[in-house]
Structure 1
């Protein structure tokens, strides 16, 4: 958060100079009482500041008056495809947001009126993937917005919305250039917001089919200045932790997709990573597999590693570290210490000395079970955190199954009895039950109040049921149960993780059982190879596999075709939530929570359910909490603001007690992190409300801002 002033805005002479210089002016029709904005409190980074604390010093809206909060304005972008996860950027009275089509739009932050719109697509491109935020750079009289769309990093003039032609190729850089494979095989995207350090713009990367990285580019030219390979190459630190010595060029994953955190004083960046691909089985590949599931600290100017910590070794559970690290100053052994916080999907809070990487949390390596799948070498130990205390359940237990109805309990008990449940049990053919794929923490991360030394984090407590199958195994029984070549490719590529084992889809992710009614084979092949909307690209797929896959999706396969027996190759039957027959979680509530964690004591100060099922409340069930996606912000005014929930509500909690002080129904689900800012002394809170995403529901196009009545 930054206070901005501009004395040139106070005179007509200065006004003319600004127009002549081409600097951004709040639209004349949108001025407050006919004046240009002279003083603002900005939200000028994704996460509010470079340290990603999501904290604001604003207190005009506070615990006494938040009950009076009203809609100040609503902006509708016109793109109804959903799902926007963008944390808005507010600088000097202007707000910068994105749409599902990756357009960037500048708004008057006092009334939501559109000032300009930039569409990054060129020559009929369809830009897919997710954008979670933008970055801001200014030098002298020049200012620009940097953001990613699909495999490109863009820079546009923040006052006009025009591309900065000197940056890369007419305003954009291809993130896939000059990497370990040809550009056509890389499919790098970058959902997290870039970070600006001096004249460098730093961005993470995500790829389903190629090795990932973190890179810095010259903000003036677009030239790549340095690259950090998250799958180490020969002679790089960590290369010897991989049993497969060619994984650095043939493998995939170890993505950094949640954003980059910057320590401006020490010129250090911090980021976290996910697991290698495939998610649940990587045969003949022993070792801890750095930098999978790590928090990493680099020199921001050179990209050299300062330190790292691996939270999960050789991850076989899709427990990628989900959220950008948070910078903090904490009390440790009686002294103030500059620290960094990393949240995990297992409900843990990891604390580190920011400079040295010393682990401040209490962690011990414990023995875990070996894999029972041929060719898989699960790591023999995993870190267990005993302090701070976890903010989410970590093991599915028989005495914590649902009692919503006798039938629901009986079903949950049957599945529980048939599967394995415990601490880091590797995936197997029998099936495992565990928490974590969608939480504890998710990509929204936490919000941190340094004055109170309290971390606020929303958590999911939804269990998953993962079963493995050898895709090269000759099935027996009826023809309908046989594994065809196309179904084998469907499993091998991890398609069930989004579309389900039976292609039925989930949330707003489409059902694929009737694509033959919509697409021709050549169109479907193009979508698989190049991606579309949120669908990632798979350019590395072999032509035979592509033909088999599209035949399967179009229901054109020979009914008698089966996969020949080869070396065992296991894939999951799909990302299957542990739900009861009515579609509710099969464990006991709460299913989603908001937590206040005291970092002095390491204890949870309060925990409350986050979200509700109205139909269950009408039947007399207490508030259960729901699955939630999106983060919180915390303010000096004593409030924690968060949307995120399945019930499409936006809420303000008392940060001291966890009591709900205000709530409102959004037009669509708010699956993003809000922002707060002030213009001319008036505080606003804004949230992207577009629905869709992993929770599904209706999709829309709204940004909604709230303020106190005048």
Structure 2
């Protein structure tokens, strides 16, 4: 036995030396970095493992038996530590145990080879047989058993069924009718969310959970408009949800062209190019959709199914235009150079009676004129008498930006009726000639909703730039930032305000369209408004007065803002919340234990005190980040049963304040100064600090927090209960190797629900459109898209009697998904 344990003068096999050298180097790396982690209050595991690996690496040069024993013991200790930290959660386990398992497997494979390299009389041949090999195999088998068990469950899933949700009374008016005053035909789609209520719900029932697997591509249309043209900002995106009116589809492209297609075939009928001027100071270049005004007294446009009816509609409208300059019906298109254009849906020509030659100048009365820095990226609001326009301003470029004013124009003439400036909210009379609106006031860049029965328009509000420092905000700005505001349609005066974040320092502007739906809560029928937020809340409010339907709790928030600023003592949290749990060191993740170690060190170096940790010069972790748990895609709601299909995403960001020495120096343009007229974002010229914001990722670009990063979830809005939740999407298009591993990835672009019990989503970051069973959230169909599908799908009835699913696939510049120009329509086979 002593001859087995004692080293011999003959050299170790070269394979053992190589493996020993690898372990020796890796051990010293882990020892150094792990010691750093331990010194800042983190886990001692990595330092101790590094020391053990260094010892094992040294033993591999001469004492192979002892090396195998020690490695087996280290492996078992690593498995025990991993289970203590994360339990049977597979992907966090894999990040911790992947490298040790691979090394152990290599060691087992090499042991017979190393035996063959030794002389027959070398006692180390015995050392490379059992029991050391058996001990190592048993320890690795223990991990394999743990892995198998973890694969059978998802600790982040919620299993349940919505089948028991009580349907609403069938005799009540539809939410579309009560909200807009005109019922949209079942087979059509008249607004961004189908109706002004913003529900993203189709009452069509032809496609069901039983037959959705038979969906096939019916037609595909290419617009010819892709990102990458001169002057395009990074965030050039194809986010449109088309309208379906009569037998036509209407959509806009990123570069602002407007198209009419035949709904059943995808054939182009007309195209309008607004000739947007170049050299624009753009942060975003997109068009999320058009807005539609039906003919006076009608709920829909004339049927244009046949060539004869299309010609008749065209002739009638053209006649009205020729004699009066007015169009019987209108499409409204906001342009990147600051115009609101009215088009005749029959011909694609402008409506001369609206504004000046068919357009309203949105720069009128606007301070700090800089073409491209202000325009409406989202569709405008259309009511019987008004067209209401918000707009986006440059985010964090300077303190001298445009106004976030909301304006209402006469829908026939384009004359200004009222204006509501959130920094000067009581002065709603049309601005006098020569005056300007308040610079830098909070804006409403997303999609608004309308209840014409109540006479209110509901606006999701943003912040006053800069987002991360608010030391000079006025009382009016403080009141209206990051809130939902209900304005009277007749006067523009605020009826009520509900703030979703107090003194917002995190870019938690309200990004989602408010959803209007009548709910049955505790036996009472309530006209509700559901507001998703970036921080993960679903605030359910009475849309008559803004009072919460479900409890909202003011929760203590971290303190200690940057110099010259303050933080709110509390923040509102809804009873329905997808707020991610506070991060801990054990939540750090990576592809390997090495980048996970880097994330752990970064976690301790950055400031983090939970949700609402304020930005800092040290650098702060903001979780969720400004990508948002919910963004402009909002949620889909079934108004009959009061059910919501939601797409929560969780990605932590970092926010670091950089003190400004002056008002001109560029401090945070890490990719170099912007080209042409494009703005220097996040510089905050005129404020005390620039801001460096980025996702919280490892050096490999992998999120530092463990997956899932994206899920789908079903909520019963009648009782506020999350019924089911599942991870959604794969890393096929996010990783260097296109492996469709279902980690759960974020989505950008809203979902669609149908009365057939199926929901659709195309916005996940892996270029698929998917269908889900609404009752349990299970995925039941998918199809590969030619580009990123970061838009909200819609559904309509074709002239052939088939229900179509329409998906836009054009990619998104900020998320890096594949660019394209596809409009794809799916349907079941003709019977």
User: TM-score over 0.5 for the alignment?
Assistant: yes
Give the Cα–Cα distance (whole angstroms) in 1 for the partners of residues 492 and 505 of structure 2: 28
Find 1:462's aligned residue among 651, 668, 678: 651
Find 1:80's aligned residue among 216, 221, 226: 226
> What RMSD, in angstroms, separates the aligned Cα atoms of the two structures?
2.9
Q: 1:121 to 1:657 in 2, by over 3 A?
A: same
Q: What whole-Å deviation, never above 9, does each CA across 1:463-486 have from its counterpart, x for those lacking one?
A: 00111111118xxxxxxxxxxx86
The runs of at least 4 consecutive aligned structure 1 residues that moved more than 6 Å come to 123-127, 234-237, 535-538, 615-621
Give the Cα–Cα distance (whole angstroms) in 2 for the partners of residues 537 and 121 of structure 1: 30
The match for 2:87 is none
Q: How does 1:137-286 map to 2 (within 5 A)?
A: 137-140=293-296, 142-150=328-336, 151-179=338-366, 181=367, 183=369, 187-208=373-394, 209-232=401-424, 251-285=439-473
Give the Cα–Cα distance (whole angstroms) in 1 for the partners of residues 341 and 590 of structure 2: 51
Q: What secondary structure, in the 3-state scheme, does the structure 2 residue paired with 1:321 have? A: coil
Give the Cα–Cα distance (whole angstroms) in 2 for the partners of residues 68 and 336 of structure 1: 38
Q: What secondary structure, in the 3-state scheme, does the structure 2 residue paired with 1:408 have? A: helix
Q: 1:235 to 1:668 in 2, by over 3 A?
A: closer
Q: How does 1:344-493 map to 2 (within 5 A)?
A: 344-385=533-574, 387-388=575-576, 390-393=577-580, 395-402=582-589, 404-421=591-608, 422-434=610-622, 435-472=624-661, 488=665, 490-491=666-667
Q: 1:177 to 1:251 in 2, by over 3 A?
A: closer
Query: Quick check: which has more Rg, 1 or 2?
Result: 2
The match for 1:69 is 215
Q: Is the 8 A contact 2:627 2:651 kept in 1?
A: yes
Q: What secondary structure, in the 3-state scheme, does the structure 2 residue paired with 1:170 have? A: coil
Q: Is the 8 A contact 2:281 2:370 kept in 1?
A: no
Q: What whole-Å deviation, never above 9, does each CA across 1:524-545 have from its counterpart, x for those lacking one?
A: 2xx14xx7xxx9999xx9xxx8
Give the Cα–Cα distance (whole angstroms) in 2 for the partners of residues 353 and 46 of structure 1: 23
Q: Is the 8 A contact 2:381 2:449 kept in 1?
A: yes
The match for 2:759 is 640
Q: What whole-Å deviation, never above 9, does each CA across 1:337-388 have from its counterpart, x for those lacking one?
A: 1111100111111011111211123122233233342111222322233x12
Q: 1:658 to 1:294 in 2, by over 3 A?
A: same
Q: Is the 8 A contact 2:709 2:746 kept in 1?
A: yes
TM-score by length of 1: 0.78
Structure 1 spans left out of the alignment, 5+ residues: 4-38, 238-247, 474-484, 504-511, 546-566
Q: 1:249 to 1:136 in 2, by over 3 A?
A: closer
Shift of 1:178: 2.4
The match for 1:583 is 701
Structure 2 spans left out of the alignment, 5+ residues: 1-173, 177-184, 228-235, 297-316, 318-327, 395-400, 430-435
State yes or no: 1:609 paired with 2:701: no
Q: 1:123 to 1:364 in 2, by over 3 A?
A: closer
Q: How does 1:38-117 map to 2 (within 5 A)?
A: 41-81=187-227, 83-117=237-271
Q: What secondary structure, in the 3-state scheme, does the structure 2 residue paired with 1:139 have? A: coil
Q: 1:664 to 1:399 in 2, by over 3 A?
A: same
Give the Cα–Cα distance (whole angstroms) in 2 for the partners of residues 344 and 57 of structure 1: 26
Q: 1:217 to 1:416 in 2, by over 3 A?
A: same
Q: What whole-Å deviation, never above 9, does each CA across 1:624-657 have from its counterpart, x for those lacking one?
A: 1112210001001111100111111000000011
Give the Cα–Cα distance (whole angstroms) in 2 for the partners of residues 284 and 263 of structure 1: 35
Q: Is the 8 A contact 2:281 2:373 kept in 1?
A: no
Shift of 1:232: 2.6
Shift of 1:236: 8.5
Work out the number of aligned pairs and report it. 591
Q: What whole-Å deviation, never above 9, does each CA across 1:571-605 have from its counterpart, x for those lacking one?
A: 21x22100122212110111111111111332211
Give the Cα–Cα distance (whole angstroms) in 2 for the partners of residues 126 and 118 of structure 1: 20
The match for 2:143 is none
TM-score by length of 2: 0.67
The match for 2:55 is none
The match for 1:705 is 825
Q: How does 1:314-329 map to 2 (within 5 A)?
A: 314-329=503-518
Shift of 1:174: 1.1
State yes or no: 1:298 paired with 2:487: yes
Q: What secondary structure, in the 3-state scheme, does the structure 2 residue paired with 1:608 have? A: strand
Give the Cα–Cα distance (whole angstroms) in 1 for the partners of residues 738 and 406 of structure 2: 50
Once structures 1 and 2 are overlaid, which stretch shifts more, 139-148 or 212-221? 139-148
Q: How does 1:12-51 map to 2 (within 5 A)?
A: 41-51=187-197
Q: 1:632 to 1:325 in 2, by over 3 A?
A: same
Could you say which structure has the higher helix fraction?
2
State yes or no: 1:130 paired with 2:263: no
